[in-house]
Amino acid sequence: MRDAEAFAATVEVSKLRGDYIAPKLGRVTVADLATVWMGRQVHTKPSWQTRQESIWRVHVEPKWGAHAVASITRPEVRDWIAQMDRAPSTIADVHGVLVAILDTAVEERRIPANPARGIKLPRRTPTEHDYLTHAQVAALAAESKHPEIVMLLAYSGLRWGEMAALRPRDIDLDRGRIRVNRSASKVNSRSVIGTPKTWERRTVAIPLEVAAGLRDMVAAAANDDALVWQRGDGTPIRPPTSTHWFGGAVQRASIADETFPAGLTAHELRHTAASLMIASGAHVKTVQRQLGHKSAVMTLDLYGHPFPDDLDDVATRMSEGLRAAKNTASPTAGAAQSPKLTTVCGQDVGTDPEQGAA
């Protein structure tokens, strides 16, 4: 009776504070809340929405679907994460889906706190990317069915989906400018055109030589609203697969040049563009806007690596500065060691550094 009265007192205090949660509200299952949560994902991109639904079905539902939300404990979630044999990025996505569903339970006042939040996840290891030199970009373009696509991606930093959604109206060939207003993505087996990845429309600069290579494709488009590149059914061209023309071009280029990265992907042409821009001395904010990143920090973290030639240039420039400083300082040093002159009665008289005025 004493324990019951004490518990009743804590319930009354919780009610007065406004943080009381009825136990029956926490009996709803994760699967029931997942249906509610997924129904609210109307403002996410279709490709990401499909990805989240797949994660729920494959990873989260088998483990947590039948659990009441109030029964889930932090140690259980921690053990589940620890036993997951997936890449760190995949684990983060899977964990994020469970966190989002349980956040819904918190918002609906079914549980006081989210037991999945704050769980330590495996650290993501930086991915090594391949970067092409100017000569390697030209070699790859020469081996490609669509050299204009290779040159555009390598010198603009466009994502494949942004390139695939381009229309003649988006391209100003005379000024070397491209307006990125749309992006194509693959959702299951169909292509969908929507907004760019970060929802940010931007203008991208391209070299006039690259613009010249696009003239024939732009001129061949049916009208200003037609796709510059398209499949036979009129849909956007899809990202490279194992049998894609891009892979064949990479293979031929790597055979001709043993230093050419044989595993190069189309997305690494975007990395190439970023690195070439940075190496050319472009301001990081300019590179950020060109790539459509949310922050300059992200740009530097991803692409701020130095090329070997850059390190040599740094050493050379610092050597030049050092030599210039020495040359500037040497006359002063020599003057400090020469005999001083003292003027006495209008006459210059030598001064002995040891004995003072003569």
- For the stretch 314-354, pLDDT in tens is 677 788 888 888 888 765 544 445 444 444 444 444 444 44
- Which tokens go with 164? 């695939």
Alpha carbons 279 and 305: distance in angstroms, whole number = 9
Residue 129 DSSP one-character state: -
Q: Measured between alpha carbons, how far apart are the two ends of the chain, in Å?
A: 112
**Cβ–Cβ < 8 Å for 146, 255:** no
* Residue ranges per structural domain of the chain: 16-107, 134-303, 308-357
Q: Give the model's pLDDT for residue 44.
A: 74
Which comes out higher in pLDDT, residue 331 or 242?
Answer: 242
Q: How far is CA 303 from CA 178, 198, 297, 337, in A?
A: 22, 18, 10, 51
Name the helix (H) or strand (E) containing 340: strand 340-344
Q: Give the model's pLDDT for residue 358.
A: 37
Please say if the pLDDT value at position 188 is more than 80. Answer: no
Q: What is the mean pLDDT of residues 55-67?
A: 96
Residue 57 DSSP one-character state: I
Q: Give the model's pLDDT for residue 357.
A: 41
Q: Give the model's pLDDT for residue 197.
A: 77
User: How does pLDDT run across 64-83, given as a tens digit for each residue?
Assistant: 999 999 999 999 999 999 99
- State residue 184 phi and psi, 5-degree precision: -100, 140
Alpha carbons 133 and 154: distance in angstroms, whole number = 10
Please say if the pLDDT value at position 355 is more than 70. Answer: no
Mean pLDDT is lowest, of 88-97, 145-154, 325-334, for: 325-334
pLDDT band at 156 (very low <50, low <70, confident <90, very high): very high
> Average pLDDT, whole number, for the chain?
84
Q: What is the mean pLDDT of residues 199-219?
A: 91
Please say if the pLDDT value at position 312 is more than 70. Answer: no
Please say if the pLDDT value at position 245 is more than 90. Answer: yes
Q: Give the model's pLDDT for residue 338.
A: 46
Cβ atoms < 10 Å from Cβ of 269: 29
Name the burial class of residue 234, with classes exposed (0-12), middle (13-18) and buried (19+) by CB atoms within 10 angstroms of its CB.
exposed
Please say if the pLDDT value at position 229 is more than 80. Answer: yes
Alpha carbons 256 and 272: distance in angstroms, whole number = 20
Instruction: For domain 134-303, give the CATH superfamily.
Output: Intergrase catalytic core (1.10.443.10)
Q: Give the model's pLDDT for residue 323.
A: 85
Please say if the pLDDT value at position 209 is more than 70. Answer: yes
User: How does pLDDT run across 267-288, given as a tens digit for each residue?
Assistant: 999 999 988 888 888 888 888 8
pLDDT band at 199 (very low <50, low <70, confident <90, very high): low
